Structure 1
C-alpha cells in the first residue's frame, strides 16, 4: 500500500483551497437555512406514552426542560447558525421533537466531544445527542436509545466512471482519500490487506489536512474516491452537486453500528426516549427530519434501548 500526505502548504493548493472555500461558503449561504430563527424546524405534540415511560425517580436538570449536550461542529449533524450561537442541524432538530414528545422545552448545551462523558455523568444535562456510537465499553457507563445508522460512504466525482464500491475487491488499485486515525482508515487498510493477500492491486491512500484541497483532489482527478463519514458527505453532495455516493459501509464493519441518544446508566430516561423515537418513526416525523438534512439513507426502522454495541478493543 502506498501512502501520501498532502497539505495546503503548497502554494497553488493553498490558492485553490481558498477559492474553493469561498465558493462553498457562497453556495451554502444561498442554500442552507442557517438563520437562528429556524422557522422550518419541525415540531410535534406531546406523546403520552413517552411521558409515562419516564422513570418515576428521574429528575430532569430543569423541571420544564429537556437539557441536551451537543457537539455543534459537524454539519449537517450539528453546526452553528449565522449568529454563531444558535445550534442547527439534524441532531438539533431531533432533540426538538424529542423534547416536544416529552412535553418539555429544549435547551441545547454545546460540549466538546472529549468532555461529554464526564459532563453527562456529573448531571450537566439529561442526555447527549451528538453522533455517539453504541459500544459495549460505553454501555458499562451509559444507556442508549438508537436513532441512526453509523454509516461511512464512498463518494466519487459526479461524472466518474466508478459506479459501485461496496466490498474489498471493488477498491483494488484505486487512489482513495480517508481520515487518519479513524474507523474508516482502519476499514480501508483492512480491505487493502485482504486484496493484496488475494493478489489484487494495492490502493494508494491519500490524507489531506484541508477539506477544500480534498475536494480539489477529487475534482481534478488526483484521487478516485473519498471514504469518510456518510452524513457529512451526503450533505455536501446535495449542496454542491459535484460528488455522488457509490457505496456505504457500517462504521463498525464487519459489524453493524448505530448512533444513539446517550443517558446516564440506570437513570430511567432511556426507555422513554426509545418510546418517543419509535412513535416519531411510526408517524413519519423521523423520516421528515432525516430528509431535511439529506440523511434518509441512514434511517433505522426501529429504535432500541441498549442494543448490542461494538465490542471492546
Structure 2
C-alpha cells in the first residue's frame, strides 16, 4: 500500500506543470557554469538600459554593462539573446535565456513564471511631454481627456498602465520604442507615460524640447530587477553579486556612466 501511494505521488509530481518545468529546466546555475555561457535576454530598445545598434547589431547600455560584470563574476562568456516586450514572457518561458536584463520591471505576473533578483532601482510611471505642455499633464485627470493623445510602446508595463488608468484619452501604440519619443517631440502625440528613469534620460537627449513631469513623484510604485529562470542557485548567486556590486561601488560606477 505504501509503495503504491509513493508511486502515485511520484507520478502526480512528475506530471504537474511546476515540477515538470523544474525537472526539465536546462538553464540554471550548474548548467550555466557547465556550458560556460550566460544567456541574457534583452529588448535593445530601452535606453539607457539596453540598446541594439541597428547597423552592427551590437548591444550597449546600463544593464548590458552589468550583464557583462555578472558573466565575469560567474567566469563565463556573455551571450545577449534579442527579444521584445511583446514576446519577452514567451521567450522567457521557452528557456531562450537564463535571465532577462534591460530595465525589466517587477510584476506579479512575471513572478509567477520565474524568480526576481533583489531590486536594483526604485521606479514609477510618470509623464514626459513637450516642455511647453509640461504643466498640463501633471495629473492623471489632466491627461485623461478626449483631446489628449498618449503614445505607448506595445506589450510592456507602459501600455498596461495607460489602459488601466486612462478611459477617455486616446492611446496610440507605436511599434518602435527607439523612436517613440521623437513622435512626442514632433507633435504626433501629446505625451508618453513611462518609467521615471527613462523620462530623465530622454529629457537630456531632447534638451529644451521634452521635459520629464515630476519624475521624483511618479504616479505609482515599481522596482526594477533581473528576471531569472526558476533556479534557486542562480538567484542566490545573482543576489549576492548584485549586493556586493552595490556595496563596493561597482554598481555606482556603471550608474554614473549612463545616468549622470
- TM-score for the superposition, normalised by structure 2: 0.67
Q: Does 1:179 align with 2:152?
A: yes
* Structure with higher RCO (Cα < 8 A, 6+ apart): 1
Q: Distance in 2 between matches of 1:119 and 1:171?
A: 34
RMSD: 3.6
Which residues of 2 match residues 24-35 of structure 1 at below 5 A? none
What secondary structure, in the 3-state scheme, does the structure 2 residue paired with 1:293 have? helix
- Answer whether contact 1:164 1:246 (CA < 8 A) is retained: yes
Shift of 1:143: 0.8
Residues 1:172 and 1:57: Cα distance change in structure 2 (over 3 Å)? closer
| Count of residues paired in the alignment | 221
2:214 corresponds to: 247
Shift of 1:270: 0.7
| Residues 236-295 of structure 1: CA deviation (Å, up to 9, x unaligned) | 2212202222223898x65x322221122134211211111121112222233233332x
Shift of 1:179: 2.4
1:279 corresponds to: 244
2:128 corresponds to: 155
Which residues of 2 match residues 11-30 of structure 1 at below 5 A? none
Q: 2:230 aligns with which of 240, 265, 272?
A: 265
- Answer whether contact 1:127 1:264 (CA < 8 A) is retained: yes
What secondary structure, in the 3-state scheme, does the structure 2 residue paired with 1:69 have? strand
Say which structure is richer in helix: 2
Shift of 1:80: 1.9
Q: Does 1:288 align with 2:244?
A: no
> Which 5+ residue runs of structure 2 have no aligned equivalent?
1-27
> Which 5+ residue runs of structure 1 have no aligned equivalent?
1-55, 191-202, 297-313
